[in-house]
Structure 1
Amino acid sequence: MTGFLGAFTTFSSFSIEVVELLMSDKWFGALGIIAFHLIGGVMSTMLGILLYKLLFRS
């Protein structure tokens, strides 16, 4: 339950930050945050898969 509800608050924080930047005409800042979160998420997933394969030799 905590992880499920925690995802909502994290996404809400991300959304609010991006919307506030967009409303203050800071487009590059908003795009930077979006790119950072997307790239960071994909990289973290790839690292997790790599570590799993190294630890369990699958």
Structure 2
Amino acid sequence: MNRINLSFALGLGLTVVISFFHGAAQISDVSLLIGLLAASLITGVAMSVSSESESE
């Protein structure tokens, strides 16, 4: 469970940093932000599934 929160927080932080570098005022940056958010969420879920199967 901690891994999900950690990876999601890292992805969210990375998204915020990148959006600041890009200006975050354009539509393309919004879609990039959403894409990175989804990627971090998918990564968190995948890590959680793999860690759960390891514990079993």
TM-score by length of 2: 0.58
> Relative contact order (alpha carbons < 8 A, sep ≥ 6): 1 or 2 greater?
2
Structure 1: where are the runs of 5+ without partners?
Answer: 1-6
Where do 4+ consecutive residues of structure 1 move more than 4 Å?
10-13
Higher gyration radius (CA): 1
Q: Quote the Cα distance in structure 2 between the aligned partners of 1:11 and 1:39.
A: 10
Could you say what the CA RMSD is over the residues aligned between the two structures, in angstroms?
Answer: 2.5
TM-score by length of 1: 0.56
The total of aligned residue pairs comes to: 45
**Percent of aligned pairs with the same residue?**
5
